Amino acid sequence: MRTASELPSALAQRSFALPESDACGVSRGRTRARDLRTVSRGVRVPVGVEQSLAQRIRPHLVLLPDAVVSDVTAAQLYGMPLPPQMEAEDLLHFTRPAGSAAIVRQGVQGHRRGLSPAEIEDVAGIPLTGFARTWVDVAGRLDLDSLVAAADWMVSAHRRDFGPPRIPKIPLAELHSYVASLHGTRFLRRIEEALALVRVGVDSPPETRLRLMMLRGGLPEFTVNCRIESPRIHRAVWSDLGSPEYRVCIEYDGLHHLTPEQQASDNERDALTALAGWRQIKVNRLQLRQPEAAVLAPARRALRDNGWHR
């Protein structure tokens, strides 16, 4: 059996479009060899070569020069928090201008929309919809909590006494302005409902879910990323969610809290919080799976003990 010739180094370790292999002098017969997979019309991937999302996208943009990455694929590229089934989605989403021919390709979902230049970003040479446009485009596939969590992630910003400052992907005011400019957009009512629940300073989607759970449960709204100070403590501490009025705070303990270093830091925070006269409630990811009433019961008791009447 005849052995296939080696591919040029520029193509050997990545997916490529046939116009790219043509430009490298590779014959079309060579592109049909068994060491290459055809993942979509005109796109080849060397067998056994793992591809990043960006590498999977680039050949399609060669074949669709007027398209931009959009919807779930843009959200994945940004690292936007999504439900597990959407994070694992292999289908690639591209948007072409309104009035263009439909995209009909294996492994690709095509969309046609009129996008303004302000709605398109360039990330490492890949054109994709901006944060706000991407959030709007995935709104129809997200439940309300997930939609709020994605927006909390986009607008999150804070400067604390420790760690680097967190810079928002898009300021909350800019997101509000963008949504206000939308007319006739599908799921606009859900988008507006979610936007009204977005808060700046949230560190993780579980914190968003806990915060929304508390609001649904009728608890007073807690301050996100709440600073706790007292003459009795030597430094301020920061709580995920805090009520200065009732001196009750809630911490979400994710997996990173299991490391010895983080536990030592948490122990100091817990002691300072108690010394400042605050009641602290901790919630972990397993507890978040319980019925909402059970999750909120400790916080409800602490609030009532500290003067909340409801």
Confidence check: pLDDT of 262 > 90: no
Give one word for 187, left, alpha or beta, with left for phi > 0 and alpha for psi -120 to 50. left
Confidence tier at 232 by pLDDT (50, 70, 90): confident
Confidence check: pLDDT of 230 > 50: yes
Share of the chain above pLDDT 90, in %: 83
Q: Which residue has the higher pLDDT, 254 or 296?
A: 296
Read off the pLDDT of each residue in 251-255 and give the average, rounded to a whole number: 79
pLDDT of residue 31: 94
Read off the pLDDT of each residue in 282-305 and give the average, rounded to a whole number: 94
Read off the pLDDT of each residue in 239-262 and give the average, rounded to a whole number: 82
Confidence check: pLDDT of 2 > 60: no
CA 281, CA 279: separation in Å to the nearest integer? 7
Q: Which residue has the higher pLDDT, 1 or 248?
A: 248
Q: Which residue has the higher pLDDT, 172 or 158?
A: 172
CA 299, CA 129: separation in Å to the nearest integer? 40
Confidence tier at 266 by pLDDT (50, 70, 90): confident
pLDDT of residue 1: 42
